[in-house]
Amino acid sequence: MTVSDPVVEDVVSTISRTATEIRQGLVGRRGTVDEENPSGETQAEADIWADELLEGRLTEIDGIGEYASEERATVVDCGADPDGDAYAIACDPLDGSSNLKSNNAMGTIFGVYDAALPARGDTLVAAGYVLYGPITTMVLATEESVSVYEMSGGERRLVQSDVTLPEEPVVYGFGGGVSNWPDEFEAFAREIETELKLRYGGAMIADVNQVLTYGGIFGYPGLESRPAGKLRLQFEGNPIGYVVERAGGRSSNGHRSLLTIDPDDLHERTPVHVGNAELIDRLEDRPT
């Protein structure tokens, strides 16, 4: 199954081919380097390698004006105007790379924006993620629908189309140290833990995929020590918010949809909450 927009299809096909190499190339790249990303986090060798691999291929696509990632400080200019006929790509090349040490799930997140970066989430025309689990899968959201593919040999095979969140939520996962949660979020979390099953693995992609599969809520709130939270709006919040909203759920920074936030900085952080609409409504309705 191909995407109707030929440029977006080129992006998705390129990421499909590259994802197989990224997964295979993780072997031997589990260590860290003596460098930090623009957000001040220690980089894994695999972070830098995956970013360079994606940047080298995605920037060669006709119709792509900008490339940006969590691993580099500035936007790469590809020579076309992203405010004209070109798109901009923002990605997290290896979400959950800290899981390399323990050999747990991780993934690649991408968003295709019809605007220069940093951009609002409602300018996305497609977004998705690759999950490196027992099976390598891609979840892709476009203006038409949300689809799931299995990945093998650089190719993708459609296994589910018109994906929607199950109506009855089952799982939840909340990030950040519990002792660092604001009181209002902790009160909400204590309600949720009596209703749903905990699923939290340290890679947002894996946790969100549980929510998309079974229904529920994922959240990484603002913390007492870090009110803006940990996750980046351009590379994580917007693409994942787009996927979940296209699947019939909601996204929120605790007050409104992630897709309506006007960004001030390429690496701007935001609290991220995604899941079934009723659960996000309850989160936003709590007194602050």
The architecture of the domain spanning 171-285 is: 3-Layer(aba) Sandwich (3.40)
- pLDDT of 1: 59
285 annotated as ligand-binding? no
Residue percentage of the chain with pLDDT more than 70: 94
DSSP 111-125: EEESSSSS--GGGEE
Q: Do residues 138 and 128 touch, judged by C-beta distance below 8 A?
A: yes
Query: Is 97 one of the annotated binding-site residues?
Result: yes
Ligand-binding site membership of 153 (annotated): no
| Contact predicate 268/232, CB 8 Å | yes
155 is in an annotated binding site: no
Question: Is 158 known to sit in a ligand binding site?
Answer: no
67 is in an annotated binding site: no
- Give residue 202's pLDDT: 83
Matching CATH number, 6-160, of 3.40.50.1980, 2.60.40.10, 1.10.10.1100, 3.30.540.10: 3.30.540.10
Domains of the chain, residue spans: 6-160, 171-285
Give the integer Cα–Cα distance in Å for 37 and 48: 9
Q: Is the pLDDT of residue 288 over 60?
A: no
CA 67 – CA 224 distance, rounded (Å) = 33
Instruction: Give tens-digit pLDDT for 80-128.
Output: 766 668 999 999 999 988 888 888 899 999 999 999 999 999 999 999 9
pLDDT of 34 reads 62
For 87-98, the pLDDT digits (tens) are 999 999 999 888
200 is in an annotated binding site: yes
Asked if residues 205 and 165 have their Cβ atoms less than 8 Å apart, the reply is no
Read off the pTM.
Answer: 0.94
279 is in an annotated binding site: no
Amino acid identity for residue 277 in this structure: A
- Residue 35 pLDDT level (bands cut at 50, 70, 90): low
214 labelled ligand-binding: no
**Residue 101 annotated as binding?**
no
